[in-house]
Amino acid sequence: MTTAEELRRGVADFLAAHDPATTDRLEFLRARFDAGLAWVHYPAGLGGLGAARELQQVVDEELATAGAPDNDPHRIGIGLGMAAPTILRFGTDEQRRRYLRPLWTGEEVWCQLFSEPGAGSDLAALSTRAVRDGDDWVVDGQKVWTSLAHTAKFAILVARTDPDLPKHKGLTYFLCDMTAPGVEVRPLRQITGEAEFNEVFLTGVRIPDSQRLGEVGQGWEVAMGTLMNERVAIGGGNTEPESGMIGVVARLWRENPELRTPGLHDRLLRLWVEAEATRLTGLRLREQLAVGGPGPEGSAVKLAFARLNQQISGFEVELLGEAGLSYEDWSFRRPESTDFTSRDAGYRYLRAKGNSIEGGTSEVLRNIIAERILGLPAEPRADKDVPWKELPR
pLDDT of residue 233: 67
Q: Is residue 162 scored above 90 in pLDDT? A: yes
Which of 313, 290, 309 is CA-nearest to residue 359? Answer: 309
Highest mean pLDDT among 202-216, 233-247, 315-329: 202-216
From the number of C-beta atoms within 10 Å of its C-beta (0-12, 13-18, 19+), residue 231 rates as buried
Q: pLDDT by residue (tens digit) across 211-266? A: 999 999 999 999 988 887 776 666 555 567 888 889 999 999 999 888 888 889 99
- Local confidence band at 207 (pLDDT 50, 70, 90 cut-offs): very high
Confidence of residue 291 (pLDDT cuts 50, 70, 90): low
- Provide the pLDDT for residue 288: 65
More confident residue, 46 or 350: 46
CA distance 260 to 254: 9
pLDDT confidence band for 17 (50 / 70 / 90): very high
Instruction: Tell me the pTM.
Output: 0.88
Q: What is the model's pLDDT at position 234? A: 66
| Contacts for 231 with CB less than 8 Å, ≥ 6 apart | 294, 298, 299, 301, 302, 359, 360, 365
Decide if pLDDT at 110 tops 90. yes
Task: Return the pLDDT at 289.
Answer: 60
- Determine which of 112-126, 293-307, 370-384 has the lowest per-residue pLDDT on average: 293-307
Out of 199, 230, 297, 316, the active site residue is: 230
The pLDDT score that the predictor gives to residue 262 is 85
- Closest to 236 measured CA to CA, from 70, 362, 359: 359
Q: Which residues pair with 205 in a beta bridge?
A: 139
pLDDT at 145 over 60: yes
Give the percent of the chain with pLDDT over 90: 61
pLDDT of amino acid 341 = 73
132 pLDDT more than 90: yes
On the question of pLDDT at 59 being above 60, the answer is yes
DSSP symbol at 142: E
Q: Decide if pLDDT at 296 tops 70.
A: yes
For residue 25, give the DSSP letter.
H
Average pLDDT, the chain: 90
Predicted pLDDT at 368: 83
pLDDT higher for 119 or 208? 208
- Residue 232's pLDDT is 67
Give the least confident one: 54-68, 277-291, 314-328, 361-375: 277-291
Q: Which CATH class is domain 222-373?
A: mainly alpha
Instruction: Give SS3 for 147.
Output: coil
Q: How many CB atoms neighbour CB 259 within 10 A? A: 14
Distance (Å, rounded) from C-alpha 22 to C-alpha 43?
Answer: 29
Residue 356 above 90 pLDDT?
no
Per DSSP, 166 falls in state B
From the list 272, 320, 289, 282, the residue with the least C-alpha distance to 303 is 282
Identify which of 17, 12, 49, 52 has the alpha carbon closest to the alpha carbon of residue 31.
17
The ranges assigned to domains in the chain are 4-70, 79-216, 222-373
Q: Which residues of 299-320 are buried (b: 16+ CB within 10 A; e: fewer)?
A: bbbbbbbbbbbbbbbebbbebb
Q: What is the mean pLDDT of residues 149-170?
A: 97
**For residues 299-324, average pLDDT:** 89
pLDDT band at 336 (very low <50, low <70, confident <90, very high): confident
CATH number of 79-216: 2.40.110.10
* Surface-to-core class of residue 191, CB atoms within 10 Å of its CB (0-12 exposed, 13-18 middle, 19+ buried): exposed
pLDDT (mean) for 81-103: 96
Q: Which of 97, 104, 21, 24 is nearest to 63 (CA)?
A: 21
Looking at residue 79, its pLDDT comes to 96
pLDDT value of residue 326? 76
Distances from the Cα of 33 to the Cαs of 6, 82, 110, in angstroms? 17, 18, 18
Would residue 230 show up in a list of annotated catalytic residues for this protein?
yes
Instruction: Choose among 306, 341, 334, 324: nearest CA to 73.
Output: 341
Please spell the DSSP secondary structure of 334-365, one letter per residue: --SS--STTS-HHHHHHHGGGGGTTTS-HHHH
Query: For residue 111, what is the enclosing H or E element?
Result: strand 110-113
Q: Which helix (H) or strand (E) holds 184?
A: strand 183-188
